[in-house]
Amino acid sequence: MADTNIDWANLSFSYMKTDYNVRCTYKDGQWGPVEVSDSEYVPMHIAASCLHYGQESFEGLKAFRGEDGKIRIFRLEENAKRFIRSAEGISMQPMPVEKFREMVLKVVELNKRFVPPYGSGASLYIRPLEIGISARVGVKPADEYMVIMLVTPVGPYFKAGFKPTKVCMSREYDRVAPKGTGSIKVGGNYAASLVAGEKAHELGYSVMLYLDPKEKKYLDECGAANFFAIKDNTYITPASESILPSITNMSLCQIAEDLGLKVDRRPIRLEELETFEEASACGTAAVCSPICQIDDIDTGKSYTFGKADEAGPITTKLYNQLRGIQNGDLEDTHGWCDILPE
């Protein structure tokens, strides 16, 4: 049963202390046993490679409580695979998929009372984190690593929930370098986006939409999320070496095909924004965040999509289909959810 002392309907997307986290250390060439901790802190050497040279990667996935009382964890295996790619991208020791699975299932089981009740609109956010913990003064990969998995119940990522927001873009900011770390999930990418993100908020926008870092001609990431658009019954999303492959976007592509849409993953030129019927950001945290307007703050040009107060019909259908699978309301025909009995 979910904890009855929490105001589930008014949760924000922020950290709340839960009962336990789980940890696993790579040392002497092998991963050790999974350990349970009730501490929110990590003892660490002051010269740890994660602190000095950015050897850190993370993931984000969610667990949902269905009407049947069962807890569903969405696309655990795909997160495990991406966790491996991120580790390899910065010379860390990748965690095997089965060890990742063991840790996720354990941390959710230990914190079941924090999985929000069905119908609340909230979920349990699962945050796996890998860090290099060897003492390093010279620039060199660590020999020892720790994976920590914490959980926290969360509400909508954007305060407006599933409502259209306004987005801005500017050529003054790059999220990542061409052929850099944009396609893996490391903290440095997010640190590099903070200045642009705060600028967007100051101007009254939800996020900054980035153009490609090489030519500034193509659409790239949308804040910390992927971008997609709808045009002529086609789901269009950017293809780029500097975009993080979103598991939510991957899932929406499949759902779009299931619903009879064409899927087109390709470079999207900036001027094509004028032709789109619907636009949205997508990711684990927000699922879909519809966009009603994109303002180019360099040129003053604006692009509008559908209604300012209502998501477009296809984006709404995609969102409802994905949420239905996550909550257990719709058949999980692709086997995306791991189910824990209540």
For residue 292, what pLDDT is reported?
97
Please give the Cα distance from 157 to 122 (Å, whole number): 10
Average pLDDT of the segment spanning 4-29: 94
Query: Is the pLDDT assigned to residue 59 strictly greater than 90?
Result: yes
Average pLDDT of the segment spanning 182-191: 96
Helix (H, G, I), strand (E, B) or coil at 154: strand
For residue 160, what pLDDT is reported?
66
Query: pLDDT class for 17, splitting at 50, 70, 90?
Result: very high
Annotated active-site positions, please? 185
The CB-side HSE value for 160 (13 A sphere, CA atoms) comes to 16
Q: pLDDT, tens digit, for every residue of 86-112?
A: 999 999 999 999 999 999 999 999 999
Contact 243, 267 (CB under 8 A): no
For 34, the token pair is 């999974």
* Mean pLDDT over each residue of the chain, to the nearest integer: 96
Query: Is the pLDDT assigned to residue 275 strictly greater than 80?
Result: yes
For residue 342, what pLDDT is reported?
65
For 26, the token pair is 């790579």
For 17, the token pair is 């202390």
Q: What is the DSSP string of 269-317?
A: BGGGGGG-SEEEEEETTTEEEEEEEEEETTT--EEE-SBTTB--HHHHH
Task: Please report the sign of the dihedral spanned by the C-alpha atoms of residue 155, residue 157, residue 119, residue 322.
Answer: negative
For residue 86, what pLDDT is reported?
98
For residue 153, what pLDDT is reported?
97
Contact 286, 167 (CB under 8 A): no
State the pairing for strand pair 61-65/145-154: unpaired
Q: pLDDT, tens digit, for every residue of 146-158?
A: 999 999 999 877 6
Helix (H, G, I), strand (E, B) or coil at 56: strand
Query: Is the pLDDT assigned to residue 203 strictly greater than 80?
Result: yes
Burial of 220 (0-12, 13-18, 19+ CB in 10 A): buried
Average pLDDT of the segment spanning 296-309: 96
Query: Is the pLDDT assigned to residue 179 strictly greater than 70?
Result: yes
For residue 159, what pLDDT is reported?
65
For residue 161, what pLDDT is reported?
72
DSSP 8-state class, residue 143? S
Find all residues with CB under 8 Å of 220, minimum gap 6, and list them: 175, 182, 209, 210, 211, 212, 213, 227, 238, 240, 242, 243
Phi, psi (5° rounding) for residue 127? -120, 95
For residue 297, what pLDDT is reported?
97
- Which own/partner contact pairs does 82-86 have at CB distance under 8 Å and 24+ positions apart? 82/184, 82/185, 82/245, 82/247, 83/57, 83/59, 83/128, 83/130, 83/185, 85/183, 85/184, 86/57, 86/58, 86/59, 86/130, 86/184, 86/185, 86/186
Find all residues with CB under 8 Å of 53, minimum gap 6, and list them: 132, 136, 139
Instruction: Provide the β-strand partners of residue 64.
Output: 72
Instruction: Provide the β-strand partners of residue 230.
Output: 235, 278
Q: Taking the model in full, what pTM does it have?
A: 0.96
Q: pLDDT, tens digit, for every residue of 210-261?
A: 999 999 999 999 999 999 999 999 999 999 999 999 999 999 999 999 999 9
Find all residues with CB under 8 Å of 78, minimum gap 6, and list them: 247, 250
Query: pLDDT class for 331, splitting at 50, 70, 90?
Result: very high
Please give the Cα distance from 334 to 82 (Å, whole number): 19
| Amino acid, res. 104 | V
| Amino acid, res. 218 | Y
Share of the chain above pLDDT 70, in %: 99
For residue 9, what pLDDT is reported?
87
Please give the Cα distance from 178 to 240 (Å, whole number): 9
Query: pLDDT class for 267, splitting at 50, 70, 90?
Result: very high
For 43, the token pair is 């003892």
Q: pLDDT, tens digit, for every residue of 19-50?
A: 999 999 999 999 999 999 999 999 999 999 99
Total length of the chain:
342
